Copies of this chain bind each other. A is one copy, B any other.
Amino acid sequence: MGAVQSFREMCDRPKNTNVRLSLPAVCIVWQTAMIILFGVFIRYNEESDTHWVEYKKENNIPSDIENDFYFRYPSFQDVHVMIFVGFGFLMTFLKRYSFGAVGFNFLIAAFGLQWALLMQGWFHSLDYTDGKIKIGVENLINADFCVAGCLIAYGAVLGKVSPVQLMVLTLFGITLFAVEEYIILDLIHARDAGGSMVIHTFGGYYGLSISWMLYRPNLDQSSRLQGSVYHSDLFAMIGTLFLWMFWPSFNSAITDHGDGQHRAAINTYLALASTVLTTVAVSSLFQKHGKLDMVHIQNSTLAGGVAVGTAAEFMLMPYGSLIVGFCCGILSTLGYIYLTPFMEKYMKIQDTCGIHNLHAMPGVIGGIVGAITAAAASESVYGAEGLINTFDFEGEFKNMVPTKQGGHQAAGLCVAICFGIGGGILVGFILRLPIWGDPADDNCFDDEPYWEVSHRSQYQVSYRMNSRYLKIVRVQLI
């Protein structure tokens, strides 16, 4: 009890946002560690190594076009855009935290993808003959996916943490992700092509739990900055649209060659289209005068992409995708209207970007949709070979049947939730230590503590015209 008390006190000391030593130290030391670990462990795989010429001959591969690079590289680049421009700009909506949004997103993604190559490599791409991790384009995509989980979590704590905290959040996030992913995909043998469970559910609950641990009772002292201006909302739309447009690539990037990628792209395209309409409908219906709210358009329109993540590669059917999108647009928008304020008021969860509505809840829906679709799969719909291919009923899982697969999918979803909440509480505890340089409650949502910001044009003047003279109502630093 005394320990908790003194920990509390230690955490409540006055804040110092100077990260001049800690941030460079973390970046340099961790990057050096990456170099050493890459030197020991990481090599090119047979498709990116100069021995490909010989490999091709030995395996009777008729053409260079059969190199996995040509199957996946366009999707990889789309995913890459989602990670850096999509997530980065989506978070620029705050009036004075756009540098932090796009800049720290850049930093932690660049670190996270290196650590992810190692962590995922040890679990999935280790060549036991020489103890090396062999990487190719699919590993790059998976590393980007892994990073996405941490960027989702960043959305919950946006504006309230220091870059050093974000690095810590990423280090642990990637580690937890890789373990969770191994359990869900390899041990449980759940399928999760677009990561509804592995990425969005995990990332969502991870971020929400951290935000809960870092609850700031006096955050309203920064409320002047917790809103958007006209052009910051437009910058955020750049993020929204690149996420929306490239989501079909996200969900199809690592699915099976051929029909797998093809079908996943179609399903995602349709689910997202459907979501836009129901988001607009609910946004308009629940606002005074039927006006649309940019927050909903920026975020809830994406929920359909999250929710078809698991089932996109299955025979969800085009109308099935539309239904998933339809429901998610409604639920996600209602979440922004009712759930986010409720969670802040009663559950002490301050969720800056509303990741619960965009990632956690749609991710869970996606996991459930995946479980149902898998359980309902049949040879008459999939074809005998198609069923085996799609669900990978091979090797150790040769005797698997769709109904049982449905159960495994549900189990996978539970693991993702547990890892998200458990991991978030653990990491949140670490991040409460008073050594990370996070801002004070009246200094949140502000680029000023961590960025050289030009001091010009930063006063906001409110006027009121009174017959012939001008009354200055308020001058405020923005």
Q: A460 touching B457 by the CB < 8 A rule?
A: yes
Chain B residue nearest to A284 in the complex (CB): B23
Supply 25 A–B pairs (Cβ within 8 Å), ascending by A: A17-B289, A28-B277, A30-B277, A31-B274, A35-B274, A38-B270, A48-B266, A52-B262, A54-B383, A70-B70, A70-B71, A77-B78, A81-B245, A85-B245, A99-B294, A102-B241, A110-B272, A113-B273, A114-B270, A136-B262, A140-B265, A230-B454, A238-B238, A459-B461, A470-B475
Complex partner residue of A228 from B276, B289, B454, CB under 8 angstroms: B454
- Determine, out of A2-10, A179-187, A337-345, A384-392, the stretch whose residues face the partner at the interface: A384-392
Indicate whether A238 sits within 8 Å of B85 (C-beta atoms), given known contacts A277-B107, A281-B23, A465-B475. Answer: yes
Q: A278 touching B231 by the CB < 8 A rule?
A: no
Any B CB within 8 A of the CB of A18? yes
Chain B residue nearest to A459 in the complex (CB): B463
Complex partner residue of A284 from B24, B227, B475, CB under 8 angstroms: B24
Indicate whether A241 sits within 8 Å of B294 (C-beta atoms), given known contacts A319-B35, A478-B457. Answer: no
Any B CB within 8 A of the CB of A246? yes
**Closest CB in chain B relative to A233 CB, distance in Å:** 7
Any B CB within 8 A of the CB of A444? no
Per-residue B-contact encoding for A447-460, CB less than 8 Å = 1, 0 else: 00111111011111
Any B CB within 8 A of the CB of A63? yes
Per-residue B-contact encoding for A2-36, CB less than 8 Å = 1, 0 else: 00000000000000011111011101101110111
Other A-B pairs beyond A17-B289, A92-B234, A107-B280, 14, CB < 8 Å: A48-B263, A50-B381, A50-B387, A51-B386, A53-B386, A54-B386, A73-B75, A74-B77, A81-B242, A88-B241, A110-B275, A287-B452, A292-B452, A470-B472
Complex partner residue of A291 from B73, B452, B459, B463, CB under 8 angstroms: B452
Q: B50 touching A241 by the CB < 8 A rule?
A: no
Any B CB within 8 A of the CB of A400? no
Complex partner residue of A274 from B20, B34, B385, CB under 8 angstroms: B34
Within 8 A of B (CB), among A248-306: 248-249, 257-259, 261-263, 265-266, 269-270, 272-278, 280-282, 284-285, 287, 289-294, 297, 301
Report chain B residues within 8 Å CB of A470.
472, 475
Q: B137 touching A265 by the CB < 8 A rule?
A: yes
Any B CB within 8 A of the CB of A318? yes
Q: B276 touching A107 by the CB < 8 A rule?
A: yes
Per-residue B-contact encoding for A79-107, CB less than 8 Å = 1, 0 else: 01100110011001001101100110011
**Closest CB in chain B relative to A21 CB, distance in Å:** 7
Q: B114 touching A42 by the CB < 8 A rule?
A: no
Per-residue B-contact encoding for A390-422, CB less than 8 Å = 1, 0 else: 100000000000000000000000000000000
Q: B70 touching A19 by the CB < 8 A rule?
A: no
Docked Cα-Cα span, A37 to B462, in Å, equals: 52
Docked Cα-Cα span, A230 to B95, in Å, equals: 10
Any B CB within 8 A of the CB of A348? no
Q: B292 touching A103 by the CB < 8 A rule?
A: yes
Docked Cα-Cα span, A31 to B54, in Å, equals: 48
Any B CB within 8 A of the CB of A229? yes
**Closest CB in chain B relative to A334 CB, distance in Å:** 13
Complex partner residue of A52 from B114, B270, B386, CB under 8 angstroms: B386
Report chain B residues within 8 Å CB of A249.
77
Chain B residue nearest to A136 in the complex (CB): B262
Indicate whether A261 sits within 8 Å of B386 (C-beta atoms), given known contacts A294-B452, A459-B462. Answer: no
Docked Cα-Cα span, A23 to B458, in Å, equals: 37
